[in-house]
């Protein structure tokens, strides 16, 4: 056997992507788990790892001079938690409260924050092929917190989810909830 023949198997082994066997399909990103919720008629998804708990809506204590979308604060087991009404933040006019209105308690940038939503749907897994790029908008629309659109089929029903980077949204300067240097 020549020196070239001895090297050839080693070269083939080096050219295989890490973690993949020869002839295996390409390595894909792991599925993304999202908590889905409704704001009006639209369905949104956020990273399940940011969710601490889901609570029935209870009126918070108002804070003077806070923006309309900051409903106030709640005392959650000794932790003062700012509560943001995402329906008002996103410009939904009919932000009523009923039996299915909930507060999603989140951990973002080392802080606990509550987000009021119309209802929570479920927890789903999205594969990378089910996530489409976020649409591009002009400068009049701030969509920097939209990470993509989830498209999935459940039975005969097609669902589209607006995927939100909840940490980026909650730490944005216009929210006024967290110091700017945390993100």
Give mean pLDDT, residues 108-118: 95
Model confidence at 180: pLDDT above 60: no
96 CB neighbour count, 10 Å cutoff: 7
Q: What 3-state class would DSSP assign to 164?
A: strand
Give mean pLDDT, residues 71-89: 95
Model confidence at 131: pLDDT above 70: yes
Report which of 103, 104, 120, 100 is spatially closest to residue 161, judged by C-alpha positions: 120
In the prediction, which pLDDT does 143 show? 76
In the prediction, which pLDDT does 151 show? 93
Domains belonging to the chain, first-starting first, are: 32-182 (2.40.50.180)
Instruction: Report the DSSP pairing between strands 111-117 and 79-85.
Output: parallel
Q: What is the 3-state secondary structure (H, E, C) of 66-131?
A: CCCCEEEEEEECCEEEEEEEHHHHCCCCCCCCCCCCEEEEEEECCEEEEEEECEEEEEEEECHHHE
Model confidence at 183: pLDDT above 70: no
In the prediction, which pLDDT does 149 show? 94
Higher-confidence residue of 164 and 179: namely: 164
Model confidence at 71: pLDDT above 60: yes
Work out the pLDDT band at 29, boundaries 50, 70, 90.
low
Q: What 3-state class would DSSP assign to 161?
A: strand
Give mean pLDDT, residues 74-101: 92
Give mean pLDDT, residues 74-79: 96
Report which of 164, 180, 30 is spatially closest to residue 104, judged by C-alpha positions: 164
Give mean pLDDT, residues 140-146: 75
Tokens for 84, please give them: 């943001």
Lowest mean pLDDT, pick from 32-46, 111-125, 130-144: 130-144
Tokens for 109, please give them: 């940038």
In tens, the pLDDT along 164-173 reads 999 999 998 8
């Amino acid at each position: 056997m020549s020196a070239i023949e001895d090297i050839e198997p080693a070269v083939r082994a080096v050219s295989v992507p890490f973690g993949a066997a020869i002839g295996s399909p390409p390595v894909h990103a792991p599925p993304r788990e999202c908590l889905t919720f409704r704001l009006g008629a639209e369905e949104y998804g956020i990273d399940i790892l940011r969710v601490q708990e889901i609570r029935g809506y209870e009126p918070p204590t108002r804070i003077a001079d806070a923006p309309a979308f900051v409903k106030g604060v709640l005392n959650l087991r000794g932790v003062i938690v700012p509560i943001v009404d995402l329906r008002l933040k996103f410009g939904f006019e009919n932000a009523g409260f009923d039996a299915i209105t909930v507060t999603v308690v989140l951990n973002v940038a080392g802080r606990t924050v509550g987000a009021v939503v119309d209802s929570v749907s479920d927890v789903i897994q999205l594969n990378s092929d089910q996530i489409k790029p976020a649409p591009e908008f002009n400068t009049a629309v701030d969509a920097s917190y939209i990470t993509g659109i989830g498209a999935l089929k459940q039975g005969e029903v097609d669902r589209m989810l607006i995927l939100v980077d909840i940490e980026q949204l909650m730490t944005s300067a216009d929210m006024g909830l967290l110091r700017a240097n945390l993100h």
